[in-house]
Chains A and B, each alone.
Chain A
């Protein structure tokens, strides 16, 4: 059993089928990369893992997604608890228009933590884990909007870590960043996987090769191939995977 098991999953936006019979086992404490051309369904699948698609009108899901064996789409599942366990970082850094400190403390506060010393600890620990503490420790009360793009993205990762999730979903987390910030986020992801299960959508093949343990390739809503990353990028078993990763289409 994986940390997340996706079983016979179909997803529809109205009458359009965006995902077709996806079966996938996401391993705990590994980085799993989703790759594929635009519109192949990889971000849709990522968003399904913490039910972000609930907010999309006309979105319908069949099949099962199990987190530690529990169906996340079951009626008994509390979505807030699910999103605490499965955090998300988006393509574009989206800090809240408030101080660095309050950005991090926001999640823990909504989950009922109000003790200042406890919040201080969480803020420091989260910022340290996101490898940004040293850069911001002297300006925690300043607005997060004054940070650079790379810093903002690490802040968003720190914010996700503050509620102590088990899984971290990352939707093209470095596509808006320069190479140095990208490298920091990649190092961070590699570091975080000892404590978290990470699922990442990326358009950057070399990034998938560099940091992920497993890779799933999607095409037109189907999962074509899922394998150990080194294997998938050296001896892909499906010709469509080979054609995509070598740039012959897509």
Chain B
């Protein structure tokens, strides 16, 4: 029985990696579509969200089957319950990437020059998602911790872009306010994606240690020099 269980756990990890890859692609493609005005690519991202939703359902079904069949305890139980929580965050990431893509299709971003830092934020958040899932698969606490700390940079960029957009609106006497607001929404979605990746990393911490101290505790420990 244990052999079969191990195989099922391997399959769970593979499916999580696949879902993580879908999220990473969605974030990268959606942001690229916005920055370069690629409408067709934006439509692809919106369509691909269905695949992410399906991946969530498949993983959820597998986790429930494992709970029923194997009645897991200890680390097995922590890994399966962490996976169940992680996929909720990943599904939201998919939705938010799709929301970013939709902004291009519904808004007029034509005149305003997109803020370059949005691209940097997209890269950073996509990396956080990939690394948080990898940390789960490898049960790598250091990598999970790295993801939690990386969210600081995303938050810093959000504040920076926000301020730049405020200045931009002020300079144009509110002329291009609509474009500016669309840009701030894109930035906010990316900032939220960073938060979801942090949540995933926190569940990785739980699956490894049994504790769910969260990112704040990691920050406090970093500050204390531990």
Contact = CB atoms under 8 A, between A and B. Distances in A.
A246 interface: yes
Interface in A216-250: 233-236, 241-242, 245-248
Contacts of A248: 2
Contacts of B2: 246-248
B210 A234 contact: yes
A209 interface: yes
Contacts of B71: 205-206
Interface string B118-158: 00000000000000000000000000000000000000000
A246 B210 contact: no
Contacts, number: 32
A247 B1 CA distance: 8
B210 A233 contact: no
Given A234-B210, A235-B210, A245 B74 contact: yes
A205 to B, nearest CB: 7
A54 B54 CA distance: 64
Contacts of B78: 234-235
- Chain A binding surface SS class: helix
Interface string B53-78: 00000000000000000011111111
Given A247-B1, A248-B2, A205 B210 contact: no
B11 to A, nearest CB: 17
Nearest to B209: A235
B75 A246 contact: yes
Contacts of A205: 71, 73
B210 to A, nearest CB: 4
Contacts of A206: 71
Given A206-B71, A246-B72, A234 B1 contact: no
Interface in B189-215: 209-210
B209 to A, nearest CB: 8
A247 B5 contact: yes
Most buried by B among A206, A209, A245: A245
Interface in A135-169: none
A102 to B, nearest CB: 41
Contacts of A242: 74-75
A141 B176 CA distance: 95
Contacts of A246: 2, 72-76
Nearest to B5: A247
Interface in B1-39: 1-2, 5
B85 to A, nearest CB: 15
B210 A245 contact: no
Given A235-B209, A248-B2, 11 more contacts: A233-B73, A233-B74, A233-B77, A234-B78, A234-B210, A236-B74, A241-B74, A245-B73, A246-B72, A246-B74, A246-B76
12 contacts: A205-B71, A209-B73, A233-B73, A234-B73, A234-B78, A235-B78, A235-B209, A235-B210, A245-B74, A246-B2, A246-B75, A246-B76
